[in-house]
Structure 1
Amino acid sequence: MSTIDPGRMTHKYDGELVVFHIGMTINKWWRPDLWGPAFMAMPRMLRELSTDPDSGLLGHALLVGARGPYVVQYWSSVEKLYAYASSPTQEHRPAWTRFNKAARKAPGAVGVWHETFLVDTAESMYVGTPSMGLSLATERVDVPRRHDRARARFADGRTAASAG
């Protein structure tokens, strides 16, 4: 279990930051033969990325939404995200090809979605939590006194934590 830090924490990160959401909608839950392979592919991809320090993946969180599972990923660059997505020698591209082939045989059984955000400025606050979100993917630091308010942290963006 992660250590809970009772203090006021924020994240610290300098450089390009990409937040990528990817998920699936299970439209026919009684057909795991159709959505199961897509569901099982994500852990393999995350394991592959997490063991490669040059992949660009900074961190991730697995979540469950109303229509199915999704992952929030933090990346060091858009280029590294796209390079992984298109690489024929890594897990994603073959999994995507298999998904498309299966989806054509059973339209509407499972859906996939993603959203990509290039983050210019980010503000975060963690009180009484273990490392999570941006603080898990980047660096977790104490909130400097002069950045006690969200407005001050946001105004300084990625450098708010290093200013104190």
Structure 2
Amino acid sequence: MSKVVAGRMTHRYDGELVVFHIGMQINRWWRPDLWLPLFSDMPKMLRELATDPDSGLLGFDMLLGAGGPYIVQYWSSIDKLYAYASDPAQEHRPAWTRFNQRARKAPDAVGIWHETFLVERAESIYVSTKPMGLPKATELVEVGRRHDRAHARFADGRTKADSIPSSATSH
């Protein structure tokens, strides 16, 4: 289990950054036969991506929303995200086909949604938390005095490696 990192931390990352939210909305909780197979597909995809260093997946966090589970994923490239989604040899395409077949039989039982963001600049702060979010997916560094306020961190962009003092430590 991850340990709490004391202090004020932020992330450092240089390069294209894509944030991808994907989730399912369970509309008929009493019908696990309709949504559980879909729910079980995601761990296979995440395992496949996590074990392939060239996949482009930097990291992810699983969350629970009002309608069901969702995942925030961090990617190194929009092209790699779309390449994975469309590759018939990967887990996603067969899972998507299965979802569509099930959805035709019970169209309102479970829904799928996603949102994709190409991030130009990102600001983050984590105070006395376990590693999560952007720093877990990229690099966790201390907030320098020069970047003590959110406005300063955002102005510097935080997706550029030179915006963090070189004396900052990483974990």
Question: Does residue 22 in structure 1 map to residue 22 in structure 2?
Answer: yes
Q: Secondary structure at the match of 1:67?
A: coil
Question: Does residue 39 in structure 1 map to residue 39 in structure 2?
Answer: yes
Distance in 2, matches of 1:161 and 1:19, equals: 21
Decide whether the 8 Å contact of 1:144 with 1:163 is kept in 2: no
Instruction: Spell out the pairing of 1:15-164 with structure 2 (5 A cutoff).
Output: 15-157=15-157, 158-159=159-160, 160-162=163-165
Distance in 2, matches of 1:62 and 1:83, equals: 22
Distance in 2, matches of 1:40 and 1:161, equals: 40
Percent of residue pairs identical: 72
**Runs of 4+ off more than 2 Å:** 159-164
RMSD (Å) for aligned C-alpha atoms = 1.0
Structure 1: gaps (5+ residues): none
Q: Which TM-score applies when normalising by structure 2?
A: 0.93
Report how many aligned residue pairs link the two structures: 164
Q: Secondary structure at the match of 1:15?
A: coil
Q: Which TM-score applies when normalising by structure 1?
A: 0.97
Deviations 1:94-115 (A, max 9, x none): 0000000010011100000000
Structure 2: gaps (5+ residues): none
